[in-house]
Homo-oligomer: A and B are copies of this chain.
Amino acid sequence: MTPTITAFQRSPDGGRGQARDMRVRWALEEVGQPYDVRLVSFSAMKQPAHLAVNPFGQIPTYEEGDLCLFESGSIVFHIAERHAGLLPEDANARSRAITWMFAALNTMEPPILELVTAVILERDAPWHAACLPLVEDRIRKRLAELSRCLGDSDWLDGAFSAGDLIMVAVLRRLNRSGLLDEFPNLAAYVARGEARPAFRRAFDAQLAVAAAAAAG
């Protein structure tokens, strides 16, 4: 059965692959699972039909038969559990890969989300200039810890896993901040993720949506 995911009709990032459908597209491409996409407008996202699938009125969602899921982390995990290629077979290695998924979403992403909020929502606030360096320092602390842990390895724990997929997707939110450049091994890690053929296919697919929206 071909699953259907949702994505922004007009992504706020204009196709830079920062919206969270990118994570799901990438996972589906990694495992070779075809998928359909239903595009959702900002107004439709807050309507009952979409809220029935995602109570927080966000994308992505994942529908497959009578299964409806939301939360990109959960959807990527669902895909990784049901296909080979995104989680190791060894039980301990599998648990560690899942740990990196949670680390990306609950330790790395929260301060990065603060930065996104500060830059987008509070750009004109009188405290913006004073507050920004504090947020950046909180991110730097986590990047330094992650950088030390990664060292000169290609991926966080052995072969590429769903943990790396989520971590790279989270770190990519920093692409325009300059913060990643302070940690060359992390910048190389993100570039390594972006160079994967499955990433490229997923990126091109979401970029095509953005291009169509811009043309329309």
List the interface of chain A (C-beta within 8 A of B): 51, 55-58, 66-74, 77-78, 92, 95-96, 98-99, 101-103, 105-107, 109-110, 113-114, 117, 121-122, 125-127, 130-131, 134, 138, 142, 145-146, 148-149
A71 with B107, Cβ < 8 A, contacts A134-B122, A148-B55 known: yes
A106 near B105 (CB under 8 angstroms)? Answer: yes
List the 7 closest pairs (A to B, CB-CB), nearest first.
A127-B127, A55-B149, A71-B102, A74-B99, A73-B102, A74-B102, A110-B110
* Nearest neighbor of A128 in chain B, beta-carbon distance: B127
Q: Which residues of the other chain, B, contact A103 by a CB distance below 8 angstroms?
A: 56, 70-71, 74
Secondary structure call for the A interface? helix
A68 to B126, CA, bound (A): 45
How many copies the complex holds: the figure is: 2
Minimal Cβ-Cβ distance residue in B for A105: B106
Give the chain B neighbours of A130 by CB distance below 8 A: 125-127
| Bound CA span A138–B122, Å | 13
Q: Which of B67, B78, B92, B107 meets A67, CB within 8 Å?
A: B92
Give A122 to B118 CA distance when docked, in angstroms.
15
CB closest chain-B residue, reference A70: B99
Min CB distance A128 to B, Å, is 9
Q: Are A95 and B67 in contact (CB under 8 A)?
A: yes
B74 contacts A98, CB within 8 Å?
Answer: yes
Asked whether, in the complex, the Cβ of B74 is within 8 Å of the Cβ of A95, the reply is: yes
Selected A-B contacts with CB under 8 Å, 28 pairs:
A51-B145, A55-B148, A56-B103, A56-B146, A66-B92, A69-B96, A70-B99, A71-B99, A71-B107, A72-B102, A73-B102, A73-B106, A74-B95, A74-B99, A74-B102, A74-B103, A77-B102, A78-B98, A105-B106, A106-B106, A106-B109, A110-B113, A122-B134, A126-B127, A126-B130, A127-B130, A127-B131, A131-B131
